[in-house]
Amino acid sequence: MSVTITGAGGFIGTNLVLDLCRRGVPVQACTRQPERFMASTAGLASQPRWFGGELPNRELLETCIAPGAVVIHLATPPGIVNGLTHPHDMGRVLRHAADLATQMAELCLERGARLISFSSGGLLYSESAARPCREEDPLDPSTAYGLVKLCEESIYAFYRRVHGLRVTSLRVANPYGPGQLAVKGQGVIGAWVRDALQRGRIELWSPPSTQRDFIYIADLCDLIRQLVESHDLPDAVYNVSGGAAVSLGEVAATLQSLGPHPLEVVQKDVGVAFRPISCLDGSRLAAATGWSATTPLQQGIGLTLEWARAHYR
C-alpha cells in the first residue's frame, strides 16, 4: 500500500512525510516546490517520491495516486490562508476548490483509492452551536478558509453517498509543534514561539480568556498513521480534538515559564469580535478508533521551543 500526500510542503504535510517515511511507508509527496524539502528526508528508512506542481491538475494527480492508495489531502488554494477581502477573489478560490475536490473524488473512485481529507476545525461551526462542538451541530463558517473547506467536504460527502467514495473527512483543531513557521497567518503558538525567541515579546490580539483547542503535531501524525493502517473505519466526518479548550492567557503564561526571560506579553486592541471559545468534541473519533491526544500543552510547547531555538538561531 502506498500513501499520497497533497500539500506535502506545509506544516502538517512535512511532519507526515517524515513520520511515515521513518516507518518505511511508501509515500508520494505532492507540493508546489518539492526541491525545498528533498534534503529533509535523506537517510530515512523510506524515501518519498516528490511531485511538483500546482493543483488542481488532473494529470499531476494521475501521476502521484497509485491504484489502491491512501490519499491524504492537505492542499489548499493559493492565498486562502492569508484571508480574502474581495468577492472576486472568493469566487476564484471557491471555483478552484470545487474543481480540485471533484478531480480528487473522481480519480479516487477510478483508482480504488481511499481519501483522508482535512477540513476546517472549530470555526466551521455556527456560533450558536454548543461547545464543545459535535459533528452534527449546525455549520456556519466564520472565515473564508472555513467556507472553502466546507465546500470541499460537501463535494466529498455527495460522492460518498451517490458513488460510494471511501472518504474520511477530518475537522482538526489547531495544530502546533516543530516545523510550524507561522508565516501564512495561521498558528498562534508557532507565531508566539517565533516572536518570543526573536523579539522577546508576544502580542495578544484577543482577550486572554479566549479559548482554543490545540493539538500537538506528533499526536495528529499518530492518528493519521492509525487511519492509514485501518481498513474498517466507517466513512464519515470526525472531529479531531486536542482534548480540551485552553485559554490564550494560559498559553502565554506557559511560554513565559518555558521561554526566554523576560518575555513581555502585549495586549492589543484591534476592534474585531473574536469567538470566546472554539473547541471540538472528539468522542465520535475516540469511539471509532480508540485514539485520543496524549501530549499536554506544557510538554508540547516545550518541544516546540526546543525545535525553534535550533531553527531560528
- Measured in degrees and rounded to the nearest 5, phi and psi for residue 45 equal -60, -35
Q: What is the pLDDT of residues 112-139, one digit of tens each?
A: 999 999 999 988 999 888 899 999 999 9
The packing angle between helices 248-258 and 188-199, to 10°, is: 40
On the CB side of 10, CA atoms within 13 Å amount to 22
Cell numbers describing residue 263: 518575555
Cα distance from N-terminal residue to C-terminal residue, the chain: 40
With beta carbons less than 8 A apart as the criterion, state whether 137 and 283 touch.
no
Q: Does some domain include residue 20?
A: yes
**Dihedral class, residue 182 (left if φ above 0, else alpha if ψ from -120 to 50, else beta):** left
pLDDT at position 93, please? 87
Q: Does some domain include residue 304?
A: no
Q: What is the pLDDT of residues 220-233, one digit of tens each?
A: 999 999 999 998 88
Q: How far is residue 218's CA from residue 307's CA, in Å, rounded to a whole number?
A: 13
- The residue range of the domain holding 82 is 3-176+215-242+277-294
Q: How far is residue 245's CA from residue 279's CA, in Å, rounded to a whole number?
A: 6
Q: What is the pLDDT of residues 152-167, one digit of tens each?
A: 999 999 999 999 999 9
Burial group, residue 236, by CB count within 10 angstroms (0-12, 13-18, 19+): middle
Q: Does some domain include residue 160?
A: yes
pLDDT at position 79, please? 64
The residue that leads in pLDDT, 289 or 312, is 289
Residue 185 in this model has a pLDDT that exceeds 70 = no
Q: Does some domain include residue 205?
A: no
With beta carbons less than 8 A apart as the criterion, state whether 30 and 200 touch.
no
pLDDT band at 143 (very low <50, low <70, confident <90, very high): confident
**Cell 502538517 belongs to residue:** 12
Q: Does some domain include residue 19?
A: yes
Q: How far is residue 310's CA from residue 104's CA, in Å, rounded to a whole number?
A: 38
Q: What is the pLDDT of residues 230-267, one digit of tens each?
A: 988 889 999 999 999 999 999 999 999 998 888 999 99
Q: What is the DSSP code (8-state) at residue 125?
A: B
Q: Does some domain include residue 97?
A: yes
C-alpha dihedral sign at 7, 11, 13, 17: positive
Residue 88 in this model has a pLDDT that exceeds 80 = no
Q: Does some domain include residue 210?
A: no
Query: Is the N-terminal amide bond of 87 cis, ω within 30° of 0?
Result: no
Split into its structural domains, the chain has a count of 1
Q: Does some domain include residue 197?
A: no
Please report, rounded to a whole number, the percentage of residues in the chain having pLDDT higher than 70: 95
CATH number at 93 reads: 3.40.50.720
